[in-house]
Amino acid sequence: MEIITIKQLNQNIRQYERNEAPEGFDINNEVSLIGWVRSCRDNGKIIFISFTDGSRLNSIQLVSKDGVTQNHETLKGLRVGSSLIAIGKAVLTTDSSQQKFEIILSRVKLLKQADENFPIQKKEHSKEFLRDVAHIRTKTNTFYTSMKIRSELSFAIHNFFHLNNFVWLSAPIITSNDAEGAGESFIVTDDSDDNSFFGGVKASLTVSGQLHAEAYAQTFKRIYTFGPTFRAEKSHTSRHLSEFWMVEPEIAFCDLNQLMFLMESFIKFLIKIIQKKCYEEINFIEKNIDSTVVSRLENIVSVDFAKIEYKTAIEILNRAIAEGKTNFEDNEIYFGKDLKSEHEKFLCESLGNGPVFIYNFPSKIKSFYMKQNADGNTVGACDLLFPNIGEIAGGSQREDDYDKLMNRCRELNMSTEEIQWYIDLRKFGYYKSSGFGLGFERLIQYITGLDNIKDVIPFPRSNGVLKF
C-alpha cells in the first residue's frame, strides 16, 4: 500500500468534508503512514499514540485496539521517539478539539524502538536545555515551527527577487577583504609566506557579500546575495551570532529613497507569504509563544514604515529625557552617538510601535563605502528598526566618486590593496548604486516571537559555543 503523508491525508479529509475530495479518495479505505511517536498512552486494551511524520506541525492520533489491531501487543512499552508504519482507517472525530480525525489501526509495524533515555519527552523543556540537544530539538513543536518558518521564508526571499528580475549571486565565503572594515573577521589563514595556501594572501571568512554584490550590480543592475556570513565579535546578546545569514540586494542607478521603498516592500511581501503559508505555525505561536503575533504581523504589512533622519532621532530622544518621559540607562545622547538598543526600542514605541527607518547617519559611526552627503558630516545610510528587535536591516547608497572613496579609506587608515578592484569599479561607469543587508535570523525572531537568536538557526555558533 502506498504510504501517504499526514499533510496529504489532512487535505483529502478536508476536501471530503466539503464534497470536493480528489478522485479515488475514499474515506473507507485504509491508509498507510510512516513516522515517529510523539507520545503514548496505554490503557491496556487501547493504546493512544500521538504520531508525526514531519509533513505538518500538528500530530495525529493513532488508536490501537486489542482485538481490532493486529499485533496490538507489539505496541506495549512503546517509547517516545520510536518509528513505525501505521495502517488503518481515518475516522472523523466529533469532539471539538482541533483534531478532525484519528486513525483506528488495523495493523502496525514497529520499525525501531527508541532508547528509554530519548531526551525529548512530553514534558516542557527549557530552550537552554534544547540548545544543548540541537540535533533533536526540532522534534518539539517550538523548534519545528521555527525551522519551518525559516525554510518558507528563504523560499519567499528567492521568490521575491526572482519575480522582480534580480540575479542571484552566490558571494564567496573565503575572502581577502573585510567588507565592513570593522576588523571582526574570522581568519582562515594569515600566513604571509609566498608558499602559503593563498600565495601569501591573508584569507578570512566573509562578513558581508556587499563588495562582490556591487561588482555584479554593475552588470546585471539588480542582484542579491543570500548566504552565511561570519563575525568574530564577542557580543553575548540575544541578537548576535558568529555565523548568521544575510540577504543583500544591490541595485545600480538606485538612490537611498528608492532603496528604503524596496526594503519596505520586500519585508511586507515576506510577511504576507508567511501569513498565508504558515497559518498552523502562526496558530501555534499565538497559543504558546506570543499571543500578539497575529496583530504584530498584520501591523507590519498594513502600516507605512516611519522615516526619520538621524538628527531628528537625537532630538526626539533628548526631548523625551528632558520632559521626563523616559529614563535610559545611558542618557547621554548627542549627534555622533551610536544608538543603543534601549534608544532604538524607545524610538519604535514612540513612533507608532511599528518599523522605523533612521537615515542620514554621521559618517564617523558608519562604514567607509557610504555615500558622503553634501553637508560634509553625514552619509546616505539607513537602518531599519523593528519593535523589540532593534536593527533588522541596514543599507546605504554607495560612494560613487573614486577620489572621495579613496580619501575616506586613507582617513580611516585602511589598507586599500585588497579592495583596489572594488574602488576601481568607480572608474567603469559606476554612476550610482544602493543596497542593504537584512539579518535573516532577526526577521525570523520577529516573526516567531522567539527572544533568543540562537533558537532560529539550526546549529547556533556564538562566542564560546560550538557544540555541533
- Name which of Mg ion, ligand 4AD, none residue 356 binds, using a CB cut-off of 5 to 8 Å depending on partner kind: none
- Beta carbons of 253 and 223 less than 8 angstroms apart: no
437 binds ligand 4AD (CB under 6 A): yes
| Beta carbon nearer to ligand 4AD, 72 or 212 | 212
Residue 144 CB neighbour total at 10 angstroms: 19
Among 36, 144, 244, 422, binds ligand 4AD (CB under 6 A): 244
- Beta carbons of 40 and 47 less than 8 angstroms apart: yes
101-112 and 83-92 beta bridge pairing: antiparallel
- Name which of Mg ion, ligand 4AD, none residue 436 binds, using a CB cut-off of 5 to 8 Å depending on partner kind: ligand 4AD
Please list every residue from 189 through 228 that binds Mg ion, using CB under 5 A: none
User: CA 69, CA 55: separation in Å to the nearest integer?
Assistant: 25
Tell me which residue has its CB nearest to Mg ion. Answer: 394
Single-letter amino acid code for the residue at 363: S
User: CA 151, CA 274: separation in Å to the nearest integer?
Assistant: 10
SS3 of residue 357 by DSSP: strand
231 binds ligand 4AD (CB under 6 A): yes
| Beta carbon nearer to ligand 4AD, 86 or 348 | 348
Among 439, 444, 446, 455, binds ligand 4AD (CB under 6 A): 439
Please count the CA atoms within 13 angstroms of the CA of 439 that sit on its side-chain side: 28
| Count of residues touching ligand 4AD (by CB under 6 A) | 23
Please list every residue from 367 through 396 that binds Mg ion, using CB under 5 A: 394
| Beta carbon nearer to ligand 4AD, 106 or 373 | 373
383's torsion region: left (phi>0), alpha (psi -120 to 50) or beta? beta
User: CA 244, CA 446: separation in Å to the nearest integer?
Assistant: 15
Tell me which residue has its CB nearest to ligand 4AD. Answer: 439
Single-letter amino acid code for the residue at 394: G
394 binds ligand 4AD (CB under 6 A): yes
393 binds ligand 4AD (CB under 6 A): yes
Least CB distance from residue 148 to ligand 4AD, whole Å?
20
Q: Which three cell numbers stand for residue 270?
A: 515576506
> Residue ranges of the alpha helices (H) in 238-358?
256-277, 279-288, 293-302, 310-322, 341-350
- Name which of Mg ion, ligand 4AD, none residue 435 binds, using a CB cut-off of 5 to 8 Å depending on partner kind: ligand 4AD
Binding site for ligand 4AD (CB under 6 A): 179-180, 208, 210, 231, 233, 240-241, 244, 246, 248, 391-396, 435-437, 439, 441-442
